[in-house]
Structures are given as structure tokens and as C-alpha cells.
Structure 1
Amino acid sequence: MSQHKPYQPGQFQWSFLLPKYWGIWIAIVFLMILAILPWSVQHRLAHVLGNIAFKYLKSRRKTTIRNLQVCFPEWSEEEVEQNSRQVFIDMMLGVFETLNAWYSPQWFKDRVSIEGLEHINNAQAQGQGVLLLGTHSTLLDAGGFICSQYFDPDVVYRPQNNALLDLLIYRCRATIYQHQIDHDDMRGLIRQLKNGHAIWYSPDQDFGLKQGVMAPFFGTAAATVTAHRRLLKISKAAAIPLYFYRYGDVHDPRYHILIEPALDNMPSDDEVADATRVNKIIENQLRIAPTQYMWFHRRFKTRPEGYEHIY
């Protein structure tokens, strides 16, 4: 009896030509066409699609509005509504920016600036790996691409459920990242850090308390992952905050990469203090461009006994 080899990321399979995948192939061609459109057209489409998503993705819209109400209590109802809508528009802009990074990378020429690159260079010069503490930005892989213009990043990723979609994303990302590390491959992640690599890692989502602790995020307790503490302790890597964002005229945008100094005494002996510290760094980053963050994720979904329910 023949045995099928397990699927390897980025590996083509003849089964991808079966009719059940034809819709995805058509979508791939369509996305490639979108990537060569002028930015003025992409920008208009993003606004249309963002407004449609805001109207019809009711659950995501409610989550976004609630998150912004909790994190920005100083905003009026009108400001919350306006910024919530902009989150969806920025998400759609990020899709086009990612397509440009994959298929039309020349579009970013002369649009990118960076601040603090010396912090990564100094750590690597001392033989350290670098764990880049980032966020789930709506820029998606466009952020990784602009970083790759200045240094060689690796990325931690979660495989797609659809094998053909996973193939597409994996191969497109291969043009940006040196290595793509499965989120379950902790040994591989530690190995790359010990080898001096810079790895983009986002500790900003709620995965419950089996993988984290409760720590304040914009003044409200949130389940905060602590896995990076273990990674840093084992690998002796430097923890360096990284943030990238779009700014300037939306019709002729620019992109900036902000790299902050390596965190001293990270990890410490207090995991709650470390989680609080990282959350505060992320807060400060998000205040630069608040709507360029995936607020439609339920950041406060874990509510242990004694904590007020958010959603």
C-alpha cells in the first residue's frame, strides 16, 4: 500500500488542479491583476470594500467598536464610529499594500524610512538573536517587506487550513522573509534565535491563561501571552520593539519603521510585570496610528471570575 508524503509548506501538489481548487486559482489571477492597478484605483477600491465590510461584518464591527470604546474612553461616540470604520478601510488598504509587496514591490521605492536600525545591528554584532516585538498591523506582509529593505527578518506564522491558499501565501512570503517558522515549532524558533536571526513576533492577542497572565492593556486587564519570556530566556536573544505604519497623504503614502532600544532585564523574575511592560510598549506604538491595528480581534475575550465581561 502506497503512503502519501505529508504536505510540506510551499510544496505544489497535483491535487491542487482538482475542480475544488479552481475558485482559488481564479482568485489568485484576480489578485495579481489588482496588484498592478494604480494606487489611486487601489485606494478607491479599499474605501469601497472597507465600507462594505464595516456594514456587513456585523460581529467584527461590534468587536471593533467595543475595543475602541474600552481603549480610548476619551473618544466620543462619533469618533469611535469614525475610527472603527477606518479600521476596516485600513485593513483593505493593507490587503492592497500586501499585494504590492508580493507582486509589485517597486511601488515602495522611495516611500520607506527607518529609525533605530542600529539596535538590531548592535545586538547581532554581539552574537545575539533578536525577537522583534510587534503587533498585528493592518499593513500585513507589506510591513515585513519594508523591513526587509533594511535587514533580514524571519516570521512566525500560522498555516492556513486550505493547502493551496497556504502554498500561495508561503511562496509569496518567501520573497520577503528569510525563514517562515510554524507557530508550533518552538524548537525551530529557538534555533533561529540562537543562530542570530531577527524574528518578527506579535505577543498582542488573547490566547487564554494557559499561555499567559492577566495584565493591563490600555488600562483594562487582558490575557497576555508570556511565551516570549521563555524564548528569550532559553535563546539569550535581545527583545527589541518594532513598529511600522503608514503616514502622510493617503493618495501618496509613506511608510516608517520604528525600532526601539533593546529591553533590559527582559525577562525578569515577574511575568506579570513583564507582560505589563510589553503591553505598555504596544499601547504607545498603537497610539501613533490607532486605526492601523486589527481591532476586530477580541482582545479582551478571556474574563476570569471577578473580571467584568467586555463583549
Structure 2
Amino acid sequence: MSKKHQYKPGKFYWAFISPQYWGIWIAIVFLMLLAILPWAVQYRLATVLGNFAFKSLKSRRKTAVRNLEVCFPEWTPEQVQDNARQVFVDQMLGVFETLNAWYSPAWFKNRVSIEGLEHLQKAQAESKGALLLGTHSTLLDAGGYICAQYFEPDVVYRPQNNPLLDMLIYRCRATIYTHQIDHDDMRGLIRHLKNGRAIWYSPDQDFGLKQGVMAPFFGVPAATVTAHRRLLKMTKAAAIPLYFYRYGEVSNPKYRVLIEPALDNMPGEDEVEDAVRVNKVIENQLRIAPTQYMWFHRRFKTRPEGYEQIY
């Protein structure tokens, strides 16, 4: 947050009741009301809002369509458009699912399952931390909630610029995650991994080549972060792929957590080879539920000299 030195995460300040924040308070009450609606109503609202966002957010729509074109060349133009539209619907569904996780968690009862928990348990039995390599899923914090039904996850987060909004989100997430680690708090992240914590970490966005290398993602060269290599070297933590997704009929959805075996020899000697391996893991995850990923982010925005422009 821009005023991070003035405000402590999760702490209430009397300044938050001033008129400049009333709009946020009203919005929060409205969102809490949405969380108690039946899923059938939430689903219909998410569909309407998702279709509206797809039509009105032209720049995001173009990015999502372009990402799907280059990552799924086997799809027809009609399939690309249909799946891009579904990305926006899934994002709106994820908002409602997150509201349910925050304010009405009983809704998830008997809807969640997990596969591969033994891989995380093995690392913890060896007194290792676990860096859970995942994605920016449209499920948002609902994914964290379903994970929390089976183990204690920590999360790396980027604080909100608005201090009231940051406090409210921080407090809601505190019901899900044992620890929330500021993305700038590298010491805290290292400490928690050394203490054997399981931390959800998403190395799937383009932050340029100062923080990464070029490596293929769905066969297309993409700037791929390498910070997790340093974390793994310093903490001796296990690199464990984590994925969660919605499946079944959307009118009566189920949710699954998939934990895969720890990556052998990670980090290795070559950072590009490691980036290729991690990108391949993410590719395989996304193919399970392609539209439950935030494709409206510009995954291929960094194009060094000699590389074809994507957008």
C-alpha cells in the first residue's frame, strides 16, 4: 500500500470512518449480502456480469483473446472467443466464491476434495518448508479456503493501495491463511519457509527480465520469474506444484485441490532450465481447466529484441 509505513496490515484506524471511506463501507455491506444469496442466483449474476465485462473491458478482452490464440493454436476462432468470454464469467464466479469463503464458508461443505496431500506431508515430515507453485486462478481466495480444509497455507500478497480496503481484505484472508506475507518482505518469506511453512506462490506473471529469464510458455517465449530459485536455495524448501479448480455442473459445483510430487533437483544449475520446468508444470495445470486462469493479464508483454510482438 502506498501508505504502508503509516498503516499496519489488518489494524483498524478511526480515520476509516471519515466520509472519504463511506463508499467502501457501503460496498462491503453490499458484498456481504451477495454472499448469502443462493448459488443459483450468484451463478446467474456472475454470468451476466462476466458477459458485460467481456463486452465493455475492451483492452482486457483483447489481451485474453490474444493469449488464448497463441497458447491454444489448435482452437478455432469461435472456440477462442467462447473460452475468452468464459474466462470473464469464471472470474466473476470466483468473486462470488471468494465472498462465500469469507462470509459464508459453510457453503463449501461436502464440495471439496484433495489429491496428493501425501506429497506435502512428506516434505513436512522431513522438516522442510514447501513453496507451493501455483497460478493466478480466477477462484481467488476460494482456492485458499479449500486448501485450508486440509493443511495450513500461508500466502504471499500485494497490499492494496487503499488502506481501508487493505485492512478489510487482510482480515477476511486471516480466516483462511495462517500467515500473510507482503511480497516485499523477503526476509519474512525466507523465515516462514525455514520454519517449515507451506506457502502459496505464483511464478506465472511477466515482471520483465530484471527478475527473470525468457522461457517457453505454451511454446511461446515468455519472461519467467526466477525469484523462487533463490528462495529454494536459501531455505532448502521443497518445490511442490499446487492447483485447485472447480469441476462438475456449475449449477452444483465441486472443488478439487491437486498437489503433485515435489520437483526433483529444484533449483538446478541452470535458471533457464528451471524456468522451463516450472512453466511446463503451470501449462499442465491450466490445461485441466483453461478458463479458470486470469488470461486477461499480459503474460507475453516483455519482448526483447528479436522476439515477435504478441500484443
Instruction: Give the TM bin, normalised by the shorter chain.
Output: over 0.9
Give structure 2 stretches of 5+ with no counterpart: none
* Counterpart in the other structure of 1:91: 91
Matches of residues 32-43 of structure 1 in structure 2 within 5 Å? Answer: 32-43=32-43
- The aligned amino acid for 1:109 is K
Following the alignment from structure 2 to structure 1, what is the Cα–Cα distance between the partners of residues 5 and 98? 32
Q: 1:55-74, aligned counterparts within 5 Å? A: 55-74=55-74
Alignment match, 1:182: 182
Written as runs of structure 1 = structure 2, the 5 A alignment for 1:1-311 is 6-311=6-311
Distance 2:122 2:276 in 1: 26
After TM superposition, give the deviation of residue 6 of structure 1 in Å. Answer: 2.5
Q: Distance in 2 between matches of 1:134 and 1:190?
A: 18
**1:61 counterpart SS class:** helix
The 2-side partners of 1:184 and 1:97 are apart by 28
2 CA distance for matches of 1:145 and 1:43? 19
**Residues 5 and 242 of structure 1: CA distance in aligned 2, closer, same or farther (over 3 Å):** closer
Once the 2 structures are TM-superposed, how far is the Cα of residue 206 of structure 1 from its aligned partner?
A: 0.1
1:5, 1:50 → 2: CA distance? Answer: 36
Matched letter for residue 64 of structure 2: T
Deviations 1:32-57 (A, max 9, x none): 00000000000000000000000100
State TM-score, norm by structure 1: 0.98
| Other structure's SS at 1:302 match | coil
Q: Matched residue pairs, number?
A: 308
Taking the aligned partners of 1:305 and 1:164, their CA distance within structure 2 comes to 42
TM superposition shift of 1:5: 7.4
Please tell me the residue identity of whatever aligns with 1:111.
Answer: R
d(CA) in 1 for partners of 2:298, 2:14: 38
SS of the aligned residue for 1:88 comes to helix
For 2:246, give the aligned amino acid.
R
Mapped to 1, the partners of 2:308 and 2:162 lie a distance apart of: 37
Identity of aligned residues (%): 81
Rounded Cα–Cα distance in structure 2 between residues aligned with 1:179 and 1:113: 23
**How far apart in 1 are the matches of 2:249 and 2:293?**
19
CA distance in 2, matches of 1:109, 1:163: 33
